[in-house]
Amino acid sequence: MAEYLLAFEVDEETEQVFVHGDPAGLEYFAKKLMDIAAEAKSGNFPHDHLFTEEWGGHELSSQQQSENMKIINHVKVFGWPTSEGGKPYVKT
C-alpha cells in the first residue's frame, strides 16, 4: 500500500476527473509524468500504469475521497512525441 494519498475519481456522469493527493502523492505523480515526458521527447512512445491495491498495484489510493464519486482503480498514462497524440499511430 502506498505511503501517500493519490486517488482519481469520476463524477456520476463520468464527465469530470478529480485528482486527490497529499504532497508526497502529487510529487510521485509529477515525477512519473516528467519521466514519461522525457521519454516521449526522445521520440519514444512510453506509457505507465497506476493501480489500486485491489487491482494488483500500489501506486493509487483506493479510499473514496468524495461522496457521489467513483474511485478509479486503473490509470494509464501515455506519452506521445508530438501534439497529434496517438492519432498517427492508431490503426483504422
Q: What is the mean pLDDT of the chain?
A: 93
Q: Is residue 1 part of a domain?
A: no
The pLDDT of residue 92: 44
Q: Is residue 70 part of a domain?
A: yes
Q: Is residue 78 part of a domain?
A: yes
Q: Is residue 66 part of a domain?
A: yes
The pLDDT of residue 86: 85
pTM of the complete model: 0.88
Q: Is residue 73 part of a domain?
A: yes
Domains in the chain: how many in total?
Answer: 1
Provide the residue range defining the domain that includes 10.
6-89
The pLDDT of residue 91: 59
Residue 8 has pLDDT above 80, yes or no: yes
Contact 62, 54 (CB under 8 A): yes
Q: Is residue 26 part of a domain?
A: yes
Cell of 47: 506509457
Percent of the chain with pLDDT over 90: 87
Instruction: Catalogue the E-assigned strands of the chain.
Output: 6-10, 17-21, 47-51, 70-71, 74-78
Q: How does pLDDT run across 14-34, given as a tens digit for each residue? A: 999 999 999 999 999 999 999
Q: Is residue 11 part of a domain?
A: yes
